Amino acid sequence: MNVLLKAFQESIRNRLEKEGFHLVLESAYPTIYANESRVLQAFENLMSNAFKYGRSASGENRVKIGSRENEEEYLFSVTDNGQGIPREYHEKIFGLFYRLDNDMNGSGVGLSVVRKVMQFHGGRVWVESEPGKGATFWLAFPKSHVG
């Protein structure tokens, strides 16, 4: 994931600059067994959302990609400091074509793709967020998953 996320950051360098966003990476991420292009697709969709909905009301537009691990899973987090999401929509936003914000363009497909990618890996995805306090999307990859 060090290699993948560094390359991802590099690939969107121009867009980050144009949109006035900082993408903050950790110095080291764990190695996982996963489908590289699908994992990239998940981060691309989360970052695309951060550009649209993660704009900070005051000050810096910052997106952080973090990681941790527990007994069973490698976890990656994508945190923005944007408008946030009310609790009643935390599950609904992963539905196909579901959208909360019509000020921005989109089809409501991105997060359902992220969920599909995590299902493919036998993992899970969820959001932690409060309105006005940004959002953190968690991707959990099971350590035991084979194939």
Ligand X SMILES: Nc1ncnc2c1ncn2[C@@H]1O[C@H](COP(=O)(O)OP(=O)(O)OP(=O)(O)O)[C@@H](O)[C@H]1O
Burial 42-61 (b: 16+ CB within 10 A, else e): bbbbbbebbbbbbbeeeeeb
* Closest to 34 in 3D by CA, of 138, 145, 109, 134: 145
Instruction: Using the rule CB under 6 A, give the single segment among 7-15, 19-27, 36-44, 106-114 that binds ligand X.
Output: 106-114
Q: How far is the CB of 1 from ligand X (least distance, A)?
A: 20
Q: Is 1 in the site for ligand X (CB under 6 A)?
A: no
- Does position 109 interact with ligand X (CB under 6 A)? The reply is yes
Nearer to Mg ion, 25 or 113 (CB): 113
139 forms part of the interface with ligand X (CB under 6 A):
no
Which part of the chain contacts ligand X (CB under 6 A), choosing from 14-22, 36-44, 52-60, 67-75?
Answer: 52-60
Considering only 8, 29, 51, 53, the residue that binds ligand X (CB under 6 A) is 53
Residue 105 φ/ψ, nearest 5 degrees = -80, 150
Instruction: State the virtual CA torsion across 94, 96, 98, 101 in degrees, nearest 10.
Output: 80
Token readout for 127 is 């959001």
Q: Which residue is nearest to Mg ion (CB)?
A: 110
We find the least distance from the C-beta atom of residue 23 to Mg ion, in angstroms, to be: 17
Q: Are β-strands 73-80 and 135-142 bridged in parallel, bridged antiparallel, or unpaired?
A: antiparallel
The whole-angstrom separation of Cα 31 and Cα 43 is 16
Does 111 sit near ligand X (CB under 6 A)? yes
Positions in the binding site for ligand X (CB under 6 A) = 45, 49-50, 52-54, 80, 82-83, 85, 93, 98-101, 106-112, 135
